[in-house]
Chain A
Amino acid sequence: GQNIDQPTEMTATEGAIVQINCTYQTSGFNGLFWYQQHAGEAPTFLSYNVLDGLEEKGRFSSFLSRSKGYSYLLLKELQMKDSASYLCAVRKGGAGSYQLTFGKGTKLSVIP
């Protein structure tokens, strides 16, 4: 099976940097995704990592270490609109590789 852990809630200040961690245990691995979900809305894709290292996309970056079963999402220059839940999801390799298993999400509150 798969087990994905991320903090339940975090609070950060507008303009600051915040790091949201995700650890996973899986019998196979074929990619890690981060999604953003505003309250009452659908999740939207943020980033994808399949190899170790950092992927940067504007204010958002995502890091992966496959040997440690660890990823983080880094949000820079926080804005009020970044208040949302951030979902970590893992895709298994091999058969069923099109399925994602999601963590429970981290609710980020950005305060002035």
Chain B
Amino acid sequence: NAGVTQTPKFRVLKTGQSMTLLCAQDMNHEYMYWYRQDPGMGLRLIHYSVGEGTTAKGEVPDGYNVSRLKKQNFLLGLESAAPSQTSVYFCASSTLAAVNQETQYFGPGTRLLVL
């Protein structure tokens, strides 16, 4: 049981390049999330998904797109990377199986540097 995994762990991009970050979970969780974490800013929600085929915008969605074609995978895309997108990206998943308690489980993170 690997939990939440993220690919890649680290990436360097040039401004204007595109890339996709992959998140996978093997816990059969319904909900998945993408966050970015910047110094002094805390974790901020980019996009989230409440089920296969559905996505929604979070707090800071501009410049990102997401897809959830399979329940276990949640992809985060950067179509044209900008230096402001240099950050650590965390994926998380959760389920409401426990009554009123929903813990989010986080992946190890992807460190992205945009030059």
Report if A and B associate in a common complex: yes
Residues of A within 8 A of B (CB): 30-31, 33, 41-45, 48, 50, 87, 89, 91, 98-105
Q: When the two chains form the complex, which single residue of A41, A43, A50 contacts B43, counting CB atoms closer than 8 Å? A: A43
Is residue B106 within 8 Å, beta carbon to beta carbon, of the partner chain? yes
Contact A42 B103 (CB under 8 A): no
Which residues of chain B have C-beta atoms less than 8 A from A99's C-beta? 33, 45, 48, 58
Given contacts A50-B101, A87-B43, 11 further A-B contacts (CB under 8 A): A30-B100, A42-B90, A43-B106, A98-B94, A98-B96, A99-B33, A99-B48, A99-B58, A100-B104, A103-B42, A104-B42
Answer whether A102 and B31 are a contact pair too, CB < 8 Å, given A42-B90, A44-B106.
Answer: no
Answer whether A102 and B103 are a contact pair too, CB < 8 Å, given A41-B108, A42-B108, A42-B109.
Answer: no
Q: How large is the interface on B (under 10, 10 to 19, 20 to 34, 35 or more residues)?
A: 20 to 34
Which residues of chain A have C-beta atoms less than 8 A from B106's C-beta? 42-44
**A31–B102 alpha-carbon span in the complex (Å):** 9
**A35–B96 alpha-carbon span in the complex (Å):** 18
23 A-B contacts (beta carbon < 8 Å): A30-B100, A31-B101, A33-B103, A42-B106, A42-B108, A42-B109, A43-B106, A44-B106, A45-B103, A45-B104, A45-B105, A48-B101, A48-B103, A50-B101, A87-B42, A87-B43, A98-B31, A98-B48, A98-B50, A99-B45, A99-B58, A102-B43, A102-B44
**A31–B99 alpha-carbon span in the complex (Å):** 12
Residues of B within 8 A of A (CB): 31, 33, 40-45, 48, 50, 58-59, 90, 94, 96, 100-109
